[in-house]
Amino acid sequence: MRRLFLCTALLATATQIAAQAATAPATPAPAAKAKSGGASKAEFRVGGFMVNGERSYDFAKSVKTATGQIRGLEVLLRAPAVGLYFRSLSGTFGTKGSTTNGLQPQIISADARILLFQPVFTLFGGAGKRCLCSDLANKVYDVVMGGISSTVNIGGSGLRTHISGAFLIAPDNSKSTNPSPGSKLQTSTGLEGEAAIFYRLPRLPLFLTVGYRTEVFTGKSATSTSPEEVRGVRIGGGIQFGGH
């Protein structure tokens, strides 16, 4: 009887120890490193975009406005702290043959920029050309620019925000047209701003973007001043590698 009692007690103790071992919490695994909110990898992006909007300009003390589209192409090559950006765009505004919304000059521009510092806070500078082209004449501006931008990842959602602003300067090149004596060459100036959201598709090197773009430019020469504004909704997409 005593031996039976001893065996029963040992069996009960062993069962209790096994049950405690089974219910004991497992040793926690080391926590995974959280991803930084800013881009930490090199990035290559090629995309196209379209701006649906309007252009307003002052002619003979009368402001005229016309709707239209701008189509563009952009290329971005970027390491975390330095990069290159190229962009070209072309668009027309107005309806041909209309007396109230006549066809305005075609806008063509292209520029290249050097990007410095991290995407979350970037300073850039660059140069390019801007042309107002029509059947009557082509007015070409040699533009230099400088500005600031910020691109921020929104967690691991594939979304990121982008804002940028730039100041444009274009010295008057009309000296080749023999200006009248005593006339002074003028410097054309402008401002450019963009705000956009980018979405990177999961497991695919593709992105979509939607935003808003505005550009104010005042063309000046020795004989005239031509202020204008181009603004509208910007949509686009393309191929993207890296950038997270």
Share of the chain above pLDDT 70, in %: 74
Comparing 17-26, 39-48, 132-141, 176-185, which segment has the lowest mean pLDDT? 17-26
If you search the block for the tokens 């979350």, which residue do you land on? 120
Q: CA angle, 67 as apex, 210 and 160 as ends, to 5°?
A: 10
pTM: 0.77
Comparing 4-18, 30-44, 64-78, 129-143, which segment has the lowest mean pLDDT? 4-18
Q: Compute the distance between CA of residue 230 and CA of residue 55 in angstroms, rounded to an integer.
A: 4
Give residue 30's pLDDT.
45
* Tens-digit pLDDT profile for residues 200-211: 999 899 999 999
Average pLDDT, the chain: 82
Residue 17 Ramachandran class (φ > 0 left, ψ -120 to 50 alpha, else beta) = alpha
Backbone φ and ψ for 6, nearest 5 degrees, come out as -65, -45
Are 160 and 198 contacting, i.e. CB atoms less than 8 angstroms apart? Answer: yes
Are 32 and 11 contacting, i.e. CB atoms less than 8 angstroms apart? Answer: no
Identify which of 37-41, 85-89, 173-177, 217-221 has the greatest average pLDDT.
Answer: 85-89
Give residue 137's pLDDT.
79
Q: Which helix or strand (DSSP H or E) is residue 54 part of?
A: strand 43-59
pLDDT at 87 over 50: yes
Give residue 179's pLDDT.
52
63 or 147: which leads in pLDDT:
147
From the CB of residue 7, how many other CB atoms can be counted at a distance below 10 Å?
Answer: 10
pLDDT at 194 over 90: yes
* Tens-digit pLDDT profile for residues 4-28: 444 444 444 444 544 454 444 444 4
Q: Walk me through the domains of the chain, giving residue ranges and CATH numbers.
A: 43-174+183-242 (2.40.128.100)
Q: How many residues does the chain have?
A: 244
